[in-house]
Amino acid sequence: MENSEEFLKLIREWQALEEETIASADHLIKRGGNPLVKTTMEMIKHDSGKHKIMLQMIIDNLTKEAVHLSPDELAPISALLSKHMQVEAKSITLANNALKKSERAITRHILSALLVDEEKHHSQLHTLNEELKKATIFVT
C-alpha cells in the first residue's frame, strides 16, 4: 500500500491541507491584536511548515532515493540522539516545575503546550534511537 499511487495521493492531499493551515494562520496573524492568538497561530504555522517538509520526505523516499544510513553513520548518530534526549529530559523537568508554580491561566496554557511539545520530542528521539539500534530504517 505504501508504494501505491493511492498512498502518495493521500500524502499529497495532506500536504496541501498543511498549506491551507499555513495560509489560514497567516491570515489570523496579520489580523493581529490578541498576543495569545497571534502566538498560538505562529506555533501552528511553524508546525504545519514542518509537517509539509516531513510529508515531502515521505514522498521523496518513495519516488526518488530511499533514505538510508550506512553502518559507519549509525553509532555517532545514536550517541548524538542520546545526548539530545538528555537535554529534552531536562526541558521536561523545567517545564513541569514551572507549570506547578504557575498561577495564571494563560501562563499555564502556554506552559502546557510547551510541555506537550517537549514530551513529544523526547518520545520521537527515543523511538528513532531505538529504531536506529535495531537498524530497521536501513535501506540499501
Per-residue confidence in pLDDT tens, the chain, 140 aa = 666 899 999 999 999 999 999 999 999 999 988 899 999 999 999 999 999 999 999 999 999 988 877 777 777 887 788 888 999 999 999 999 999 999 999 999 999 999 999 999 999 988 888 887 776 554 43
Q: Pick the last residue of a domain from 18, 33, 67.
A: 67
Rounded to 5°, the CA angle 35-41-45 comes to 145
The number of angstroms, rounded, from the C-alpha of 29 to the middle of its chain's C-alpha atoms is: 21
**Judgement on whether residues 58 and 109 belong to the same structural domain of the protein:** no
Q: How many domains does the chain have?
A: 2
Q: Give the pTM.
A: 0.79
Query: Please, are residues 127 and 85 in contact by the beta-carbon 8 Å criterion?
Result: no
**Judgement on whether residues 61 and 83 belong to the same structural domain of the protein:** no
**Judgement on whether residues 48 and 7 belong to the same structural domain of the protein:** yes
**Judgement on whether residues 24 and 60 belong to the same structural domain of the protein:** yes
Residue 131 grid cell: 529504531
Rounded to 5°, the CA angle 59-64-69 comes to 95
**Judgement on whether residues 74 and 62 belong to the same structural domain of the protein:** no
Tally Cβ neighbours within 10 Å of residue 45.
19
**Judgement on whether residues 82 and 131 belong to the same structural domain of the protein:** yes
Containing domain of residue 44, as a range? Answer: 1-67
